[in-house]
A = this chain, B = another copy of it.
Amino acid sequence: MKNITVIGAGSWGSAIAHLLNKNSHNVTLFTYTKELAENISKNNENKKFLPNIKIPTTIEVTNDISKATTNKDIYVLAVPSVHIRENLNKFKPFLKENDLIINASKGLDQVNKTTLSEVIKEILPNCKVAVLSGPSHAEEVAKGIPTTVVSSSKDEATAKLVQDIFMNEYFRVYTNSDIVGVELGGALKNVIALASGISDGLGFGDNTKAAIMTRGIAEISRLGVAMGGNPITFNGLAGVGDLIVTCTSVHSRNRRAGIMIGEGKKLDDVLKEVDMVVEGVNTAKAALMFAKEYNVNMPIIEGINKILFDRDKTTENEF
């Protein structure tokens, strides 16, 4: 039994807390929103982000950092990527040397043009770092549907520890030492999911979407290799596996947002309608910066940036 705090009570954070609680760990679920913390505790359910799943009373839900860090040494980060820096800085005074931070968020850091685990190392240089990624929709994990992911760390013992913590009969964890590749796969697939959704929204077909996904993973792999990732990672669960689930599943927010954009809705209206963070939108912008920085050709990423951010500046015929 480990003492673990999950930071972030969105869909994924809530599903992770639920899973770790099933695995008999001592789990705290932290959220900044007092209202959300009280709501989950009162209802034994996260009605907004993970409806119809019982959050057992054995999970402590709190918005108090001091409580969330008492007797804990393992933290799972599951917050929108734009809030990673702010979260780490707020937790920093409460953390001990060698505490383990497991990043379960998917996105890129625009400040230093780097991956999220690099941000963790920058802000918390004395903590251990790992990443959990793969095709794992929160809704399905919470229902106990068979799921596979990778636990990645440069330190093999850390990757194995994460594997031990998460593994159970329906949640299979493979270790992987290519943390850069794993994080890039998880982040960039959200942009390709937007593109796939746009294709669906325009009324194109499964043939079209398969083409976008295949060319999409090729782009992701090109950037990943330029940034030091292992090309084999992009053929695996954290690469094409996660891409497949995000581009084809009804659960995918990024794909859903893409469909609405493809149907002609404006980005602002789409984001209001989805009413949860659509990581692909921020990641699209960051990925374009990365592509320029590393001098990698990413035509789909470029196209998506034009559709997301330049559409209203152009005449309709240009699209």
Contacts and interface: CB of A to CB of B under 8 A. Distances in A.
Contact of A248 (B206, B214, B236, B237): B206
Nearest to A203: B145
Given A135-B214, A218-B235, A245-B210, A205 B240 contact: no
Interface in A178-219: 204-211, 213-214, 217-218
B211 A240 contact: no
Contact of A207 (B140, B211, B235): B140
26 contacts: A135-B210, A135-B214, A137-B205, A137-B207, A140-B206, A140-B207, A140-B208, A141-B207, A145-B205, A145-B207, A146-B204, A148-B211, A148-B214, A206-B249, A206-B250, A207-B245, A210-B245, A211-B241, A213-B240, A213-B244, A214-B240, A217-B235, A218-B236, A240-B240, A244-B248, A248-B248
B148 A207 contact: yes
Contact of A214 (B143, B241, B250): B241
A270 to B, nearest CB: 22
A245 B147 CA distance: 21
Contacts of A145: 204-205, 207-208
Contacts of A172: 211
Contact of A210 (B141, B209, B221, B242): B242
Nearest to A148: B211
Given A148-B207, A214-B241, 6 more contacts: A135-B207, A146-B211, A148-B210, A213-B244, A214-B236, A235-B240
A205 B218 CA distance: 26
A40 B165 CA distance: 61
A136 interface: yes
Contacts of A242: 210
Interface string A242-269: 1011001111000000000000000000
